[in-house]
Amino acid sequence: MRLSRIALTILVVVVLTKLVAIPAKPQLNYLIGLNMEVEIMDNGVARVTLKQHPFDAAGRSLISNKEVVERIISDQDSTLSLILLFFTTNPSKTLYLIHSPSKLDLDEQVFCNTGIPGVMETLNGAVTLVVDIFLNTTSSLIPLGGDIYQVVVTDYFTLTDPRSWIDVMDFRFKGGVKLLNFTVDPTWAKPPSIANTTRLQWLNINEADAPDNYVFTLKIPGVVFSSTPIRLKAEVSAARFSSATSSLQVSVRNIGDREGVFTVVLTEKVFEQARKVSVKPGEEASVLFPVHAGNGEDLVVKIFGGGEQLDEHRLIVSVDETVNNRLLMLSAVGLILMVIGSLLILFYIDEKLMKRHPPSEEKA
């Protein structure tokens, strides 16, 4: 049956095409456990230690993989930029000092979730980066009078990607720094596992546990604070909804004269998401949101920067029924082809068995 063989070949090719993805560099596909320690010291200096430990999709450590470790170390500039975004909306205006460059430290440990639900594991070894950030040059330090300040630390990872978060967030208050109060946002985030006047530590098993913002009221002696505000300007230049992917692409244009980091917030009926994006003056950048709203429901897009709302845009979800009908038709056609292919495989196997074991003729 030549037709059966042809059909079998086509079916196998189609199935393999759908199920097999061949990465260009499979050895570089990895996840990273992240632990961050923040020591807030006299004069408003925050010493940030970031510990990274790579592991594969099965949860196996890759700290002994030289290529992976070297790649993490070589990404120091990008990692530093991400650290600064925890403390400021304008990294280009922030003063910092690299206390210890990225390096492999086999004596360190990273505590993280490697994929087992509800379980945190200890991974030995880490790529560490230590940087001192002068909070008086950031947008995170807000004077409340005297030596009292509010410090806002934003988890850039949870805001930009729902699949990423800091596994351990550890704050320590040194010298004459005194913790007066603290809150987190959103309010339903998991409370700290350690909470006293000198230390606050969060163990985040997943993104839902991790706060987006950590807000501290502190007494910090010796800070020289500049009251000159940094004003950012931006607008929603485009917002395009795609019926095919149920997603919204939002374009942000920087209409000011300063480079800045802007937070784009999408609000639906029961969902709220946020993305951060860095945009230079006169340029645009885009972010993508999955949309859960149905046809005819409202979407609200807001842009924040420099501690204030800069723009707002509203639109209504309009689902293209033609696209939906085509997707349904393609799904139906795919199902029919799969059934036909399965039947052809059965016919082919049956024919082969018949040739190998022909039925015996009954004697009269």
At 236 the pLDDT is 94
Residue 222 falls in which region: left (phi positive, over 0), alpha (psi -120 to 50) or beta = left
Helix (H) or strand (E) holding 127: strand 121-134
Closest CA to 177 of 207, 130, 141, 229: 141
CATH 2.40.50.100, domain 234-316, yes or no: no
User: 10 Å Cβ neighbour count for 160?
Assistant: 19
Distance (Å) of CA 51 to CA 29, 74, 126, 308, 330 = 19, 15, 6, 32, 47
At 357 the pLDDT is 61
Alpha-helical regions (H) of the chain: 2-19, 66-74, 76-85, 156-160, 321-356
Stated length of the chain: 364
At 43 the pLDDT is 87
**Regions of the chain where pLDDT drops below 70:** 1-28, 158-163, 225-230, 306-307, 320-335, 348, 350-364
Strand partners, 304: 263, 309
At 116 the pLDDT is 85
At 329 the pLDDT is 61
Q: Where are the domains of the chain?
A: 28-219, 234-316
What pTM did the predictor assign?
0.60
Amino acid at 35: N
* Cα–Cα distance measured from residue 78 to residue 157, given in angstroms and rounded to the nearest whole number: 13
